[in-house]
Every structure is written in structure tokens, then in C-alpha cells.
Chains A and B, each alone.
Chain A
Amino acid sequence: MRGVVIPISMVPGNSVIHRISPLPKLLLAGCVLVLSFSTRNPAILGALIVLGMVMVSVANIWKPFLRVMAILFPILLTLITLQSIAPAFPRPWTPIVSMGPFTIYQEGIYSGVTMVERATSMTIFALAAIMTTHPSDLFASLQKIGMPYVLNFILTMTLQLIPILQKEFTTVLSAQKSRGLKGTGFAAVLPSMVPVFVGAIERVQQLSISLESRAFGSSGAKTSYRSVKVSWVDYLLMLLTTFGTCGLLYWIITDPSLDWSRTLIFAPWLAITLFTLATIGFLIFVIIAIRVVLRA
């Protein structure tokens, strides 16, 4: 079952990225989010992806990162397939090739590619921040920047519950296999999903009682067991991130030549190749996912 478990939780380590305070990492993830939605320039989005890869490399979290991307990326690829035949773009659209009832449009390929780049860049930075930050540090940092306590708590608890539920799912699946569970479609998954959800609901109920009995709802200032220290390096990084983002945003807004949607022409062979690869990639993912579920 290890193959279908998405490990979105902290990966212990002692890299520079791990040691940086969560605040610059959160700020960077936020800035990338803003930048990604501000531009459709494939080169800028590509550069953000490369920067994210560098961060993942320095943090040495390739293995868990790729495990998440192996699941997310094929799903993202559907954007290319869908956008190619129905672009989220103002008309007129330039047809490249027709295949039966479907026509692949130049703008669609452009839109699909940039959407995939956009989602990938945001995911990389968000994952790098989550995978290199202890949930409690994340909690303390968000509190520091004024996130309401309850919202902050919900977010952090959710992050902490993910690995617990993943482990629970593996155990439940083992228990059902021990009772001869055979893979026959959704009916095979149900015996595992019910105990996991019931367990999760019970856990949440117990957690709420436990929280209340420990004065969760009391008024007054809240303190955290772990304190987040922000050094001058962190401030410098935040300053650089802010200035960098503002600079890029200014450039994106003021330079109309960055809009390549009408100028970047995909050669028909490239467009068809991209469309085919994206579709095949997604279909392979679907087939593997079904096989994994059935094998379970």
C-alpha cells in the first residue's frame, strides 16, 4: 500500500532549508502563489519550477517529494489534454489539427502547459515548505503572523493527522487482507475505508473532548510549547523574497511582451506530441491506480 500513500508531512533533516525559520518559507510559498497567478509566461513559470527544484535538492527531500508528484503530476497532465480541446482562453482559437470531433488549438496547448507549470510551481514550494517544517513550528509561525488561533490549530492538526490516517489505512488494509479480502472494484475498497473513516471520526471526537478538558476554548493569549526564532538571515530572506516578488510583479504588469499566448507558436508535431504524452501519462496513471486499488 506504500505506493498509494501520499506522504505530505515533515521529512526530518538538517539541511539549510530545514534550519530556516518557517516564516520565510511560508512567505516564499505565498509569493510564488501570487506570481504564478499573475503570469502566463511559460519561461517565468519554468524558472519558478527550477528554483523550487533547487530548494527540494538543497533540502534533500527528493524521494518523498517525487512520491507526491508521481500522483499529482499525471492528474495535472489532464489540464493539457482538456485545455487543448477546450481552451480557457478568449477566442479566436487557432486550430492545429483535428482528430474526429476534437480539434487541438494552439491557445489550448499554451493554456494547458502554463496551467500545469503554474500548479507545479505552487505545489513544489508548498511541499518544500511543509516537508521541511515541523508542524508545531508552522503553528507558531502562523500565530506570529496573526493567523487566528482556532484556524491555525485546525490547519496544524490536519497536517498532523495525515500521517496517522495513512498508517491507519495500511493497518486496516492488512486486517482486511487477513480476512481474505479480494480486489473486485470499489467493493474491495469499502471494507478498508469504513474503519478508517470511523476511526478518524472517533479520533476527532476524542480529540475534541481532550481539547476541551484542557481548556482549549479559554480566553486570553495563547502560548506555544515551541518558539520560533527569527534570525537576521530569516529577515534578510523575507526582505529579498518580498523585493524579488514585487520586482517580478512590476515587470509582469508593465511589460506586455511577456504575454506569449499569441506569439509562441507550437509546431503541430510538438502540439500533438504534448497532447498525446499528456493523455497517455494520465491514462497510465489511471490504469496503475485501478490496479493498485484492485490489488489491495
Chain B
Amino acid sequence: MTNPVIECQNVWHIYGGSVTAVQDVSLKIYPGEIIGIIGQNGSGKTTLVKHFNGLLKPTKGKVLVNGRDTGPMRVQELSASVGYVFQNPNHQLFARTVEAELEFGPRNLGLPEDEVIDRREKAIEFFGLEPLRHSHPYRIGFPLRKLVGMASVYTMRPAVFILDEPTTGQDNVTTRIVYRLIHRLRDEGSTVLCVAHDMILLAEVVERMVVMRDSLLIADARPREVFSDRALMGSTHLLPPQITELTLRLKEQGKLPQVSLSVSESLDVFAPLFGGKSEGGQA
């Protein structure tokens, strides 16, 4: 059995001694998993993931990263293993050019110059930042700035990648890049934790969902199970993607055999309804 890359052991976090943000959370995250963390605003999602790279230390309990207790570890030390992309790119970017921004992380890791350049170039190519490489990060639009923020962590190649609301404020083009990023990270064997309200994104890319409500971890299951659980979704005031809701209702009426998570997947499910053949979801 593979060892978990991140393990929470009865983690509590209480802000200022009075506001409980995370209560008794136990969780194991294994290498290569793509996990979505959902819940209403203020449910404790961000507080929980900030423990994974040492930005927060548990008030009670333990967080282990690669088997090591994060308690005595510094954020800078953990940043080599756990990358955190902040929701607001403005909090991360400071350099004069996109290129310099992408080099900042690898340089902090003490990598040799050719490796820094290689990682920078690969990130520029993957995120489509070629025309912006000499631009000032603050002079480019918000969606692209957000991509620069992601690219700046991508160049650090952490084993665990935490994305906080990666698609908020993104247009369709940059959202597709986020999808591709998550798929590529999965292919490269990275672990991805995605804190998001974008249920369409999560339904399409994640394999496991952790649901938070009022500082408690209330569910840890596959997306299909989470989205199909009306009581659970209702209690968190979250809505599944429209296609999932539609197929769920049809399934409840006995017209469909299963719930779909995406439009392409639903084509297979709908095919018998319209007397057609399944096309293996390759629509």
C-alpha cells in the first residue's frame, strides 16, 4: 500500500482561540490523486489546505507531509513538496516580467540556472505565455495574470499542487488551460487538490471529493456519489452541474440508468433514450 503524501490526524484549527475553522479532520491523500474540496464560503476549505504547506499549523492534531510532521517545518521548506496557487494572483506576483516571475520559485529552490531556464520555457509553452514573456505581470489582464500565478508555482514542480479557486474570474479560453493543467499534472503523477465552487470543473476532472461544512469534514467520496446525494448537497447549499442535475432527476424517474458528470459522458447515457447507440462518450 502506498504511503499517503498528506495525512491529517484529527486536525483542529481555532483562530484567535475562539473561532473554530477546522474541527477534528482526519484525511489521507495519496500520490497522484486529483481531489476536489468543496463547501460553502467559511466552511473551512482554505483553512484546511493551508495546513498542507505549513501556512497554518494545527491547533490540535497533526498534519504529515510525506510522513513528516509539518509542526516544526517552515513554509519555505514545504514549498518544494507542496505548491499553493493563491486565489488572487495579485498576492503572488511582483517581478518586472513574466519570465522573472516564473524563475522566482525555482531559484528559491536553489536549482541550477539551466534547469531554471528549462522549467521557465516549458511553463511559458504550456500556459501559452509566449507573447507575454517580457510583459509586466500587472499590465496583463486578470485571467492571464492568474495563469502566470499558476505557472509560477508549476515551475517549482511540487509533488502536491493546491489550486485555490483556479477558474474564478477566468474566461473560457483560460478555463480550458486550467483543465489541461490539471490533466497534465495528473499525467505527470502529481497530486492535485482543487478548492473550488466550480462544480463543472470538479465534475470533469476530480476523482475524489472532500466536502466541508461548518468546519467539519462531512463527506469524502467519488464525485458521482457526492452529486447524487441530495441530502448532502442540500446541507451544503451547493448545486451539482446542470447536466448532473438533469440526469439525476431522470434517473430518479427511472428513465436513465446512471448519473452523468459531463455533457460528453451524458451522450452515452442518453443514447438508449433516443434509440441510438452509445458512442463511448467521444462526442
Q: Which chain A residue shows the least CB distance to B94? A: A194
* The residue from B50, B74, B92 contacting A179, defined by CB atoms under 8 A apart: B92
Specify which chain B residues have a CB less than 8 angstroms from the CB of A195 in the assembled complex: 90-94
A179 touching B55, Cβ below 8 Å: no
B76 touching A177, Cβ below 8 Å: yes
Taking the closest CB of chain B, its distance from the CB of A33, in whole angstroms, is 34
* The residue from A171, A177, A179 contacting B104, defined by CB atoms under 8 A apart: A179
Specify which chain A residues have a CB less than 8 angstroms from the CB of B83 in the assembled complex: 178
B90 touching A178, Cβ below 8 Å: no
CA gap between A198 and B145 in the complex, in Å: 14
Q: Which of B50, B79, B84, B94 has the most CB of A within 10 A?
A: B94
Mark contacts of A186-199 with chain B using CB atoms, 8 A cut-off: 1 yes-contact digit, 0 otherwise.
Answer: 00001111110011
Given contacts A182-B108, A191-B104, A198-B138, contact A177 B55 (CB under 8 A): yes
Taking the closest CB of chain B, its distance from the CB of A295, in whole angstroms, is 9
Q: Which residues of B are at the interface with A, using a C-beta cutoff of 8 A?
A: 50, 53, 55, 74-76, 79-80, 83-84, 86, 88, 90-95, 104-105, 108-109, 138, 152-153, 156
Taking the closest CB of chain B, its distance from the CB of A248, in whole angstroms, is 41
Interface size class of A (residues with CB under 8 A): 20 to 34
CA gap between A179 and B92 in the complex, in Å: 8
Q: Which chain A residue shows the least CB distance to B54? A: A177
Taking the closest CB of chain A, its distance from the CB of B160, in whole angstroms, is 12
Specify which chain A residues have a CB less than 8 angstroms from the CB of B92 in the assembled complex: 172, 175-176, 179, 195
Given contacts A191-B104, A198-B138, contact A178 B94 (CB under 8 A): no
B94 touching A180, Cβ below 8 Å: no
A179 touching B94, Cβ below 8 Å: no
Q: Which residues of A are at the interface with B, using a C-beta cutoff of 8 A?
A: 168, 171-172, 174-182, 190-195, 198-199, 202
CA gap between A191 and B105 in the complex, in Å: 11
CA gap between A241 and B127 in the complex, in Å: 66
Specify which chain B residues have a CB less than 8 angstroms from the CB of A178 in the assembled complex: 53, 55, 75, 79, 83-84, 86, 153
Give 5 closest A-B pairs by Cβ, nearest first: A180-B108, A194-B94, A177-B75, A178-B84, A180-B79
Specify which chain A residues have a CB less than 8 angstroms from the CB of B94 in the assembled complex: 176, 190-195, 198
8 contacts between A and B (CB under 8 A): A174-B91, A177-B74, A178-B55, A178-B83, A179-B153, A181-B76, A191-B104, A193-B94
Q: Which chain B residue shows the least CB distance to A192? A: B94
* The residue from B90, B109, B156 contacting A199, defined by CB atoms under 8 A apart: B90
CA gap between A175 and B94 in the complex, in Å: 11
Specify which chain A residues have a CB less than 8 angstroms from the CB of B152 in the assembled complex: 179
Taking the closest CB of chain A, its distance from the CB of B115, in whole angstroms, is 14
CA gap between A195 and B105 in the complex, in Å: 16
Given contacts A174-B55, A175-B86, A198-B138, contact A180 B91 (CB under 8 A): no
* The residue from A172, A180, A182 contacting B156, defined by CB atoms under 8 A apart: A180
A198 touching B90, Cβ below 8 Å: yes
Q: Which chain B residue shows the least CB distance to A198? A: B138
B91 touching A175, Cβ below 8 Å: yes
Given contacts A174-B75, A175-B91, A195-B92, contact A180 B84 (CB under 8 A): no
Given contacts A172-B92, A180-B108, A195-B91, list 9 more A-B pairs with CB under 8 A.
A171-B88, A174-B75, A174-B91, A178-B55, A179-B79, A179-B108, A179-B152, A194-B94, A198-B94
